[in-house]
Chain A
Amino acid sequence: KAGVTQTPRYLIKTRGQQVTLSCSPISGHRSVSWYQQTPGQGLQFLFEYFSETQRNKGNFPGRFSGRQFSNSRSEMNVSTLELGDSALYLCASSLEGARVNKNIQYFGAGTRLSVL
């Protein structure tokens, strides 16, 4: 079974641009969560999508948004990029959704975004 696939692996953008990251979950998984990883803040939760609905959102500005398609693939969009948005963005898929206690999240390799 294929794992979680994130594309692209690397991105370089300039301030003010917008970017879209893609995540394909493990086949059969309906939940996709996004996390931002930076040296200063560590791993921080962005949002979760389950069956095309956003269920929970972390403490990030509205420039960060996402969506999920009927095939469970998810995209994350960041508009008006800032230098501080440089980070590794990780996507995690799970079968039952993050609300289920025993649910396990499987992570992709991430997209490394550099904002110049």
Chain B
Amino acid sequence: AQSVTQLGSHVSVSEGALVLLRCNYSSSVPPYLFWYVQYPNQGLQLLLKYTSAATLVKGINGFEAEFKKSETSFHLTKPSAHMSDAAEYFCAVKGTDKLIFGTGTRLQVFP
């Protein structure tokens, strides 16, 4: 069965600092992985996806993630945080008939 684990329920960074949100997956088959972002009182917006093509995936808003099979990881990064990046971020793995989500990481950005 597939699962994802997000390390750190809260991450705080200063504006302009590197953002690193961690996600580790467990899957018995080659995984399809996703990062979604949720702003307050909104639904989920797809940031990026890994579907077994390039291991470095670029998404919207300057985010990217690298698939590392040896580490079973799919961490999300952004070189320079912006105040507007403050939100909750969810890593997800494709299950047989559904998306399986991690518990989420709330990102705070301080001026």
Contact = CB atoms under 8 A, between A and B. Distances in A.
Interface of A: 4, 6, 33, 35, 42-43, 45, 48, 55-56, 58, 90, 92, 98-99, 101-110, 112
Given A101-B32, A102-B32, A102-B51, A48 B43 contact: no
Contacts of B22: none
B43 A4 contact: yes
Contact of A107 (B44, B49, B94, B96): B44
Nearest to A98: B97
Interface stretch (B64-72, B78-86, B98-106): B98-106
B96 A99 contact: yes
Interface residues of B, number: 23
B45 interface: yes
Interface of B: 32, 34, 36, 41-46, 49, 51, 90, 94-104
B98 A45 contact: yes
A42 B43 contact: no
A106 B49 CA distance: 12
Contacts of B102: 42
B43 A33 contact: no
B101 A107 contact: no
Given A42-B101, A43-B104, A90-B44, 14 more contacts: A6-B43, A33-B98, A42-B103, A43-B90, A43-B101, A45-B100, A48-B97, A56-B97, A90-B43, A92-B99, A98-B99, A101-B32, A101-B94, A110-B42
